[in-house]
A and B are shown apart, each in its own frame.
Chain A
Amino acid sequence: MERIKEALERAKSERQSAPVAGDGVKQPAPVRNLLPDVIDYTDTHVFEPDQDHLRRNRVITGGASNAGGDAFRMLRTRVLQAMSDNGWNSIAVTSPSVGNGKSVTSANLAISLAREVNHTVLLVDLDLRQPSIHDLFGYQPKAGVGDHLTRDEPIAGMLFNPGLERLVVLPGLDRYDQSSELLSSPRMHALSEELRRRYPERIVVFDLPPVLAVDDALAFSPLVESMLLVVEDGVTQAQELQSSLEMLKDANVIGTVLNKSHAAHSKYYKY
């Protein structure tokens, strides 16, 4: 409990100093002037999420050592290594089927990446079928990325900071049936380029729909540099994993994550 208190206090202090931190990161000139001065922390809505809500949704914010946190740190490190090796700065997180925990994983990965002080992280909810990132943080946005893709709503108004330094979230909001068309649209193409290249030290994490459920991930794969496949322990069938890998064979799948592992839990988890 003391840790939680500590975390809360730290979060409070961070929020107070957030604009300062945000100002510290100076962005280079954008490649395309699609979003001139959009990403501006002054415009970004800073939002302090409820810790209980985060915990309920298994979003790990505390820096304390626990099994989940350790695992994500491990993931962060390896992802960063892979990215720096190849000079990438965007990664899409997907999974074979619904419910494998890819949204939670992408959120936790983004948080973990953000803790690394060298980067700013942008988490984009591209699961237009079932946008859930904002729910994880308990934030109710006025517009989502879908609105930008369909109605050219300005991105700036959508972004929010969930009380963590160097982390900005671009949420989805509404559900779209033609999500794969949206994801492969020129506007999406432009947006992705913009998001990746606007800030060199920024890592963009995309949350994609399941590979096998819809073709969104497949359609989007050319627009992203690397992909991460979330496998759910005891649920994802070997066949599903194989099919997913085959479908994504042209994309750069840098690796897999075995999620919800009970074996790992029993070994380390001592809550």
Chain B
Amino acid sequence: MENQEPNNLKDYLEVIKRRKGQLLLTFGVLMLITLLLAFGLPSVYRSTATILIEEPDIPADLVQSTITSFADQQIQVISQRSMTSPNINRIIEDFNLYPEDRERVSQSELVERVREDTTLELISANVIDPRSGRPTQATIAFTLSFDHRQPNLAQRVADALVTVYLEQSLNTRRTQTEQTATFFEEEVQLAEQRVERLELALAKFKAENGEVLPTQYQLTLTALARADAQVLETQRNIQLLNERRIMMDTQIGAVSPSAPVGLGREQVLPPTERLQQLESDYASKSGLYGQDHPTVVRLRREIESLRRETGQGPDLAEVDRKISTYTDQLQELRNRYSESHPDVVNTQRQLDALLADRVAALARDSVPAEVGGYVAATDDVSARLNVRQKPGTSSKVVGFLNKGERAMLVATGTEGWFEVELPNGTQGFVSQEFTRPLKTNDMPRTPTNPVYIQLVSQRNATEAELRGQLATLDALKEQRILLEERIARSPEVERQYTALLRDLTTERAAYSTAKGKELLTRQAEKVESAHGQRFTMIEPAVTPIAPHWPNRLAILFLGVVLSLAGTVGVGAVSESMDAAIRSPAAVIAITGVTPMAVIPYIYNAADSSRGKRNTALIAGVVVAGLVLALLAVHFLYRPLDVLWYAMLRGMGA
């Protein structure tokens, strides 16, 4: 069913006239709500403080602050830290906020209400970033506001909030810087400890492997070459000395220790010497003259008296040697001559005498081995007797007991061996088989033959030199082994050494980095405490004079607009829903026929008087509304006279 749409002004006026009651009612109700809202809502006052974010005094290029987060981010962090329930609860307690709701509403809801009433607004400016040179938005300040119905309370709470924010800001930055500093301090300490540990390890390694260190390698090689040469030389020396000693031993064997005594020449000699001389004489003369010869008898008597005097018997060794000499001689003579040859007889006699002497000497010399007594080498020993370190022939030779020398007996406990002390102080063991104990005053006969003595001393020198050379050789060999060992160990040591050095270098680098950062942090801390970015209140919260909310004028204006729109809407909706017939055309549309007549509304007296009444009422309402509006402007927005002058000024200008 098609409805007749209004399509010209007249039709609209028609519609308005038709629906004026409904429209007026709608408008009236909406305006009533508007007025209730505009004048009924309680005033809320807002107190606002402005806080400036001050850039650090010292440029960031010079000393980088450790706090690099953006200002607005920081503000948010501080806001979160400040608007905690305990803080807000304290503020609620301090200022006795919302006393009427304290009993009814839970504490957390009150806290939430304070949060809602608190407004934080960032103030940004377009600036050029000094680091990147690009234009950017920087937060330079922020405002902190608190809304409350009582202006002075709003101001006081805003003030308290600002105080909390500033404190939190200070704390946050300080904590942040301190944490950074502490962190680097610990880093430095750790790095220091690591370096120290490595240095100690390196020192210890160096001490342990001092000669094997890579720096010593060349030296070791040289030393080894030198040792090799020395070994060769020493070996050659030893060979020479050995040869010489053998030669000398041969010579010594050929020379008698006793010097031949000249018969024709009388010498005043000490009894011992004299005895030796006489014995020598006696041996030759008894052979020459026979036992009964007066000269021989004289000699024998003299010898006996001297022996009594000195206590010395004939030297057993001497006797033995002579016996062997005479035995050899006798053998030779017997091969050459018959038994009855005078030489043979003579020699036989001397041998007999010597044998007798020997028996006597043996009897005399058989003394017990006593500690503290002396022993000497027997005649079986060719030139010298080995003195060994320990009992046994495999033991090391520590010295020699020369023929004719004596050694002091130190101990006798060992089977087959004497422990003796040589005249030069060397202690060692000698075989009992090749020694014989001496009587206390039975000194071996001192060699008297100068040639023999010289030879012996020369041989002893050679001997000593040889020993020295042998020792040198041993030492050199040991040194060589040591050097070779070092060379063998060198690569491994070098590897470990390099590893240690490398670790140390790394740790030192780490240490210096950490140290540098710590220094920077310390600087930054100072900067932060004195000159860092900080919040400064540039505009304290003041007691607001005009309410912040609600904007009654805006509500009024908006309400009027919305009421009009609502009225139009209601009219339009009801008009569109209303399918009433309003014109002959509508009747034609349905019936297909023009109505037989269109009868106008017939007015009567009641109609016209009601019309007049309505007109008067509308006029009255309009006038009252105008007066109300003017009053509202006068008292709520601005006094009318002020507005009037402002308007005049605006027109005049």
* Residues in A lying within 8 Å of B, measured CB to CB: 52, 55-58, 60, 67-68, 71-72, 74-75, 78-79, 104-105, 108, 228, 231-239, 241-242, 245, 254-265, 268-269, 271
- Which of chain B's residues 553-602 have a Cβ closer than 8 Å to chain A? 578-584, 586-587, 589-591, 593, 595-602
Interface residue from A79, A228, A236, A261 paired with B598 (Cβ < 8 Å): A261
- In the bound complex, residues from chain B placing their C-beta under 8 Å from that of A79 are 596
Within the complex, the shortest CB–CB distance from A43 to chain B, in Å, comes to 33
- In the bound complex, residues from chain A placing their C-beta under 8 Å from that of B601 are 233, 260-262, 265, 269
Are B602 and A68 within 8 A (Cβ)?
Answer: yes
* Residues in B lying within 8 Å of A, measured CB to CB: 1, 3, 14, 17-18, 578-584, 586-587, 589-591, 593, 595-606
Are A228 and B603 within 8 A (Cβ)?
Answer: no
Do A56 and B597 form a contact, CB below 8 Å, given A233-B581, A236-B581? no
Are A234 and B596 within 8 A (Cβ)?
Answer: no
> In the docked arrangement, what's the CA distance between A93 and B59, Å?
102
Interface residue from B17, B582, B589, B593 paired with A255 (Cβ < 8 Å): B593
Nearest-CB residue, chain A, relative to B593: A255
> In the docked arrangement, what's the CA distance between A228 and B590, Å?
15
Are A55 and B582 within 8 A (Cβ)?
Answer: no
> In the docked arrangement, what's the CA distance between A105 and B595, Å?
14
> In the docked arrangement, what's the CA distance between A56 and B14, Å?
25
Are A259 and B605 within 8 A (Cβ)?
Answer: no
Within the complex, the shortest CB–CB distance from A38 to chain B, in Å, comes to 32
Within the complex, the shortest CB–CB distance from A226 to chain B, in Å, comes to 11
Do A55 and B590 form a contact, CB below 8 Å, given A71-B598, A254-B596? no
Within the complex, the shortest CB–CB distance from A201 to chain B, in Å, comes to 22
- In the bound complex, residues from chain B placing their C-beta under 8 Å from that of A228 are 596
> In the docked arrangement, what's the CA distance between A127 and B593, Å?
27
Nearest-CB residue, chain B, relative to A104: B602
> In the docked arrangement, what's the CA distance between A260 and B14, Å?
14
Interface residue from B579, B584, B598 paired with A239 (Cβ < 8 Å): B579
> In the docked arrangement, what's the CA distance between A210 and B9, Å?
35
Are A78 and B602 within 8 A (Cβ)?
Answer: no
Do A256 and B1 form a contact, CB below 8 Å, given A60-B602, A234-B18? no
> In the docked arrangement, what's the CA distance between A239 and B1, Å?
8
Are B582 and A265 within 8 A (Cβ)?
Answer: no
A-B pairs with beta carbons under 8 Å apart, 8 shown: A52-B605, A233-B580, A233-B581, A233-B601, A256-B593, A258-B584, A262-B601, A265-B601
- In the bound complex, residues from chain B placing their C-beta under 8 Å from that of A237 are 578-581
Are B599 and A72 within 8 A (Cβ)?
Answer: yes
Interface residue from A58, A234, A258 paired with B604 (Cβ < 8 Å): A58
- In the bound complex, residues from chain B placing their C-beta under 8 Å from that of A258 are 581, 583-584, 587, 595, 597-599
Are A58 and B597 within 8 A (Cβ)?
Answer: no
Are A71 and B599 within 8 A (Cβ)?
Answer: yes
- In the bound complex, residues from chain A placing their C-beta under 8 Å from that of B586 are 238
Do A263 and B14 form a contact, CB below 8 Å, given A231-B581, A239-B1, A256-B587? yes
> In the docked arrangement, what's the CA distance between A79 and B598, Å?
13
Most buried by B among A233, A237, A239, A265: A233
Within the complex, the shortest CB–CB distance from B249 to chain A, in Å, comes to 165
Nearest-CB residue, chain A, relative to B608: A271
Interface residue from A238, A268, A269 paired with B1 (Cβ < 8 Å): A238
Do A71 and B600 form a contact, CB below 8 Å, given A236-B581, A239-B1, A239-B579? yes
> In the docked arrangement, what's the CA distance between A67 and B597, Å?
12
- In the bound complex, residues from chain A placing their C-beta under 8 Å from that of B604 are 55-58
Within the complex, the shortest CB–CB distance from B585 to chain A, in Å, comes to 10
> In the docked arrangement, what's the CA distance between A257 and B584, Å?
9
Most buried by A among B1, B14, B601, B604: B601
- In the bound complex, residues from chain B placing their C-beta under 8 Å from that of A78 are 596-597
> In the docked arrangement, what's the CA distance between A228 and B591, Å?
13
Are A68 and B595 within 8 A (Cβ)?
Answer: no
- In the bound complex, residues from chain A placing their C-beta under 8 Å from that of B580 are 233-238
Within the complex, the shortest CB–CB distance from A179 to chain B, in Å, comes to 26
Are B597 and A71 within 8 A (Cβ)?
Answer: yes
> In the docked arrangement, what's the CA distance between A51 and B583, Å?
31
Interface residue from B14, B582, B596 paired with A257 (Cβ < 8 Å): B596
List the 6 shortest-distance A-B pairs measured between CB atoms, nearest first: A265-B600, A75-B597, A255-B596, A58-B602, A264-B600, A71-B599
> In the docked arrangement, what's the CA distance between A112 and B238, Å?
181
> In the docked arrangement, what's the CA distance between A32 and B600, Å?
41
- In the bound complex, residues from chain A placing their C-beta under 8 Å from that of B584 are 258
> In the docked arrangement, what's the CA distance between A231 and B602, Å?
15
Interface residue from A108, A256, A263 paired with B583 (Cβ < 8 Å): A263
Are A68 and B600 within 8 A (Cβ)?
Answer: yes
> In the docked arrangement, what's the CA distance between A242 and B580, Å?
12
> In the docked arrangement, what's the CA distance between A237 and B605, Å?
28
- In the bound complex, residues from chain B placing their C-beta under 8 Å from that of A241 are 581, 587, 590-591
Are B600 and A268 within 8 A (Cβ)?
Answer: yes
Within the complex, the shortest CB–CB distance from B390 to chain A, in Å, comes to 148
- In the bound complex, residues from chain A placing their C-beta under 8 Å from that of B579 are 237-239
- In the bound complex, residues from chain A placing their C-beta under 8 Å from that of B600 are 67-68, 71, 260-262, 264-265, 268-269
Do A261 and B599 form a contact, CB below 8 Å, given A236-B581, A256-B587? yes
Within the complex, the shortest CB–CB distance from B303 to chain A, in Å, comes to 191
> In the docked arrangement, what's the CA distance between A262 and B603, Å?
11
Within the complex, the shortest CB–CB distance from B586 to chain A, in Å, comes to 7
> In the docked arrangement, what's the CA distance between A269 and B603, Å?
10
Within the complex, the shortest CB–CB distance from A184 to chain B, in Å, comes to 27
Nearest-CB residue, chain B, relative to A256: B595
> In the docked arrangement, what's the CA distance between A234 and B598, Å?
13
Nearest-CB residue, chain A, relative to B596: A255
> In the docked arrangement, what's the CA distance between A233 and B583, Å?
7
7 new A-B pairs (CB below 8 Å) besides A255-B596, A256-B596, A258-B595? A56-B604, A233-B581, A257-B595, A261-B600, A263-B14, A264-B599, A268-B600
- In the bound complex, residues from chain B placing their C-beta under 8 Å from that of A261 are 598-601
Most buried by A among B581, B597, B603: B597
Nearest-CB residue, chain B, relative to A96: B581
Are B595 and A255 within 8 A (Cβ)?
Answer: yes
- In the bound complex, residues from chain B placing their C-beta under 8 Å from that of A60 are 602
- In the bound complex, residues from chain A placing their C-beta under 8 Å from that of B597 are 71-72, 74-75, 78, 257-258
Within the complex, the shortest CB–CB distance from A2 to chain B, in Å, comes to 18
Do A75 and B587 form a contact, CB below 8 Å, given A55-B605, A235-B580, A260-B601? no
- In the bound complex, residues from chain B placing their C-beta under 8 Å from that of A238 are 1, 3, 579-581, 586, 589-590
Are A75 and B581 within 8 A (Cβ)?
Answer: no
Are A233 and B582 within 8 A (Cβ)?
Answer: yes
Most buried by A among B579, B580, B596, B600: B600
Within the complex, the shortest CB–CB distance from A91 to chain B, in Å, comes to 11
Do A256 and B591 form a contact, CB below 8 Å, given A237-B580, A239-B579? yes
Nearest-CB residue, chain B, relative to A254: B596
Nearest-CB residue, chain B, relative to A78: B596
Interface residue from A55, A255, A259 paired with B599 (Cβ < 8 Å): A259
> In the docked arrangement, what's the CA distance between A238 and B587, Å?
8
- In the bound complex, residues from chain B placing their C-beta under 8 Å from that of A67 are 600
> In the docked arrangement, what's the CA distance between A234 and B3, Å?
12
Within the complex, the shortest CB–CB distance from B334 to chain A, in Å, comes to 191
